[in-house]
Chains A and B, each alone.
Chain A
């Protein structure tokens, strides 16, 4: 689960990591009062709050520049934040439609002498968290790989003092006090990461001010979805407005769903089969409208929810059900599908391929059901053929 920059900075501040001051604006009418409450003469930074990265290099559909801008008066800050709100910001991570901006962060532009980089994330190959630092922050970290330092954090013992020294000393801080506060930031970051079951926390940049203070100017955090059950305070930070509506609906029912660009709706069980189905369609000149993994333990409720989500997808040409049940029973999926189609009077062509637990019973059910729009695929290879046939019959 991703959260916004301003939420990340609130978390950092609460865990003893200094951040710069800013106000979060939700409504256009509040912009003036909130920005003047900062009581600042000089330049401001105005930042759109969306989950996609690359905000600075992105652009607004309305043509008001990027998602992170510096302006030189209070009036300009008010005007810019008002025009960002309610507009769509397109970045290389948002797709061509961009993300609607519901919140804008405005703060005094910090004066600093250099930008650093600090992050911690779960390294899957090593099987443990790794802290990464660089003395050249504010840019894509990969651009200057020679400046990057790494320390792996033992999941049982935590970050050790010598590791903090290994990361802090090469930074070349001018004063011992700044070096100390850098090490404190590393330690606090590790605690925050561990306590919240984060999978990534990134501070970029962490700036060093002329008087030797360190401040987190921008932050990004991602949390382990599997651990949200034990973190109600993190779950509360979820912003459904920043996520795909159907994906949120699916997650409520324990269904893994990702919307894609094609026109064949896919209902499958198992992440591997769901991906392999997308690949199979693509290899045969068809495109999936989505990735959908029911999970293997799914019952009727999940199947119904999944069908409901698929049937709400725009411009669907055909629905494909492709299951290989270990625990999930084919007859349950078949019955559920027939019920939903009958209840809602669905006219969409349906192609079904079924194997695994009680698949024979499921197929018997489908075969006994006379419906000119229902096609049963014999095996995987038969799926693209049957989809073409179903779409021609339409």
Chain B
């Protein structure tokens, strides 16, 4: 496996009867993801697609199945409760795709996570994919290919863009992780960079950041000290005006450090090759990974 998940993981889906699940689960299953159970309070005892058992509570599901990861696909008002229940059920990896969770709920979830056995990815994220093995999220399958590049991003669509540029140049990915666009979330950029750095299957790292917060600066600091693998990056929001929230709840320039220029400078100082705009991330990657010349799309 690369990081976090491989194809053997048994997956629980919270919100298995909802609209989001109806659209995304067939894509996850056809990618090879093993969905073993689902949660929908009030529909316990029924089956999803006449195959997958539905439970009222996570506790019942974990009693009956070996579960490595949970995918949460519920509306925002119920999402924090679902994450909390998954933590309570000691599910090792929790992926929450839901956008729009109140920040107060996420502050409480993060406090709860501290002494738990769980890792949270998201919320407000595309999820995680280990190409060729398992997909737990909403990313289009066709843009990925198995390989050795670790991709970590705060933005869903920019993860897709980055991965697609790599795949078009015949460069595969070890694991792609979207950590989410909310101001308070689970895994941080540094957490994922550290995992890629420790992962023998990952040879190079691509980091996609955006305005708001200081995670890119922290990642830069970590890379400078500990990372020997080549790192390429892009930071969105060079032209974003200050004090305006740019879609993501977390994408707002509110201090000297949260603007794109400061993040780019920190990354460059750490030896990271930063793409000037998103259309160049593939080429910048080729330059640092000695894979010259790259096939042009």
Contact = CB atoms under 8 A, between A and B. Distances in A.
Given A271-B251, A278-B240, A297-B20, A156 B112 contact: yes
Contacts of B90: none
Interface stretch (A165-173, A183-191, A226-234): A226-234
B50 to A, nearest CB: 24
A325 interface: yes
Interface in B151-180: 153-161, 164
A270 B240 contact: no
B278 A380 contact: yes
A132 B214 CA distance: 20
A295 B155 CA distance: 12
A273 B251 contact: no
Centre residue among B160, B181, B184, B211 by max chain A CB count within 10 A: B160
A273 B157 contact: yes
Contacts, number: 181
Interface in A75-134: 93, 122, 124-125, 127-129
Nearest to B107: A155
Interface in A272-291: 272-276, 278-280, 282-284, 288, 291
A324 B161 contact: yes
Interface of B: 20, 23-24, 76-77, 99-104, 106-108, 110-112, 126, 137-140, 143, 153-161, 164, 181, 183-184, 208, 210-214, 234, 236-241, 243-251, 260, 276-280, 297
Given A275-B240, A355-B164, A226 B100 contact: yes
Interface in A120-169: 122, 124-125, 127-129, 154-156
Given A124-B250, A226-B100, A326-B138, A272 B208 contact: yes
Contacts of B158: 270, 272-273, 276
Nearest to A254: B100
Contact of A326 (B106, B107, B139): B139
Given A124-B213, A225-B249, 14 more contacts: A122-B183, A124-B183, A127-B111, A197-B102, A227-B102, A227-B104, A256-B246, A260-B239, A270-B247, A273-B158, A274-B246, A276-B278, A282-B238, A326-B157
Main secondary structure of the interface of A (DSSP, over half): mixed
A379 interface: yes
Nearest to B214: A125
Interface in A196-251: 197, 199, 224-227, 229-230
A356 B160 contact: yes
Nearest to A278: B239
A279 B212 CA distance: 16
Contact of B181 (A199, A271, A324): A271
A340 interface: no
A199 B100 CA distance: 14
A295 B183 CA distance: 17
A297 to B, nearest CB: 7
Contacts of A296: 138, 156-157
A355 B159 CA distance: 13
Contacts of A380: 161, 278-279
A363 to B, nearest CB: 14
B236 A279 contact: yes
B161 A276 contact: yes
Q: Which of A129, A269, A295, A379 has the most CB of B within 10 A?
A: A379
Contacts of A276: 155, 158, 161, 234, 236, 277-278
13 contacts: A122-B107, A122-B183, A125-B213, A127-B110, A194-B104, A226-B103, A258-B241, A270-B158, A272-B155, A272-B210, A279-B238, A291-B244, A327-B23
